[in-house]
Structure 1
Amino acid sequence: MAEINIPRDEQEALRSIDVRALDKAIDACLDARRISSTLREYRLGSCGLFVAAKLREFETALAEYAGAKAPKKVAATESRARRAGSVLENAVQQMQHRIDTQEQEGQLFFVDDHIIPPSHFSQQLTVLVRYRWRHTIEAEWTHGSITFSHVHAPRPDYTVAPPKRKPSKSQQERDQQEELWRQWAHLMRQGLFSLVEYFREGLDGGAIPKTFQARADDYSRRLNNFSCRFWLEPAKTKSSTKTE
């Protein structure tokens, strides 16, 4: 599952877009109060989930604008549609900027985000992240990996009312697997982004440990935004950020 690297097909779709021409196409849609064939030619749905989501929001706002009759409703829906169009254009620009950043950083490091989840989860969660790095663009690549681990044993949340009916054993198992899946995905993302942050800070790839036990929040025993920052001292993680 891709989390940090933009796939090649999405890069090609994004690079093919002239933002100034896109701006004119969006304006044309607003004038016509419908999606034009010109905008469809940009293949925005192929530019990744982020851009595709903003495209759907623009389409929805435009449909509401097209269906408005009363002057007050027309003015309100037009304003929302224009904002959605601006957000769509900005989303494309953001992703184009991300491509440039990815290419620049890729000269010195690459973190492989293609990680396949296990078919079954236990409370002992692990994520193996592979990477390569080098000190200069003339140097040979050094390949490595780090395994992030976490035992999912959170404190009970007594603020949540228990179900009126006790779920069946099979339902409990399904619920537990769904919860463990969410925690595994959270561990994976924290591991990936922590590793990218480490390299972005210009730190030594040779000092990355082979394994790292994620530091859970002291109170909730859940992962937080510092949990996988393996280069920080434990004392610096105590002022935890928002937990999941």
Structure 2
Amino acid sequence: MKKFIPNGLTLLNLLCGCIAVIFVVNSNFVTASFFVFLGIFFDFFDGFAARKLNVQSDLGVQLDSLADMVTSGVVPGLIVYKLIELSDLSWGETNVMPYFGLAITLASAYRLAKFNIDEDQQTYFKGLPTPANTLLIVSLPLILEFQNSDAINAIILNEWFLIGLTILSCYLLNSSIKLFALKFKDYSFKGNATRYIFILLCLVLLIVLHFAAIPMIILLYILMSLLDNLTSK
């Protein structure tokens, strides 16, 4: 019975991703975001449960990537598609530019496939993990909805910003940048200083900036990882 618990959590992640897709298609970004957050929650704890119950398996690894492909691959691509649509970018009579957002879905699929065959990424990641990239993308419609800033809204709904963000997102997903993982072998501060400081700064940013903190957190994650790489050398 305990063997099914991690896979059950993974399937809940997949279910949340499927529901989020439906809401994004109907331009209900807030509800879609809720299911994305819930799916990422299940995604974090399926691996945790597998390690604690000592029931890790090849099936679980493959199932996890398939679920992530929906929640953290299809959903962010569709969100950028819809945002570019809202920006009214039009090249010619037929507006094909929103489809450019789906490049994030393709880049996510490529990253997940690489991750599955890379045995080095046990304690760190190469490139931005798909859930982190998804949180970055999901934050955009939430900022539009809740932050009430005309200046920020104008930036987010700028077609060139969205195209540039898509390109940057695809690069970060498949870059060779070494990023620390939030996996604790023990709870000592000495061995996990970067993780504890990161979590503390994340809490402060979320309290102060709310949803606008999420892009800042992703940037902080990358910068702290680069600093951690330099100090470890």
TM-score by length of 1: 0.28
Instruction: Kindly indicate which of the two structures has a greater share of residues assigned to strand.
Output: 1
Instruction: Kindly indicate which of the two structures has a greater share of residues assigned to helix.
Output: 2
Which structure has the greater CA radius of gyration? 1
TM-score by length of 2: 0.29
Larger relative contact order (C-alpha < 8 A, sep ≥ 6)?
2
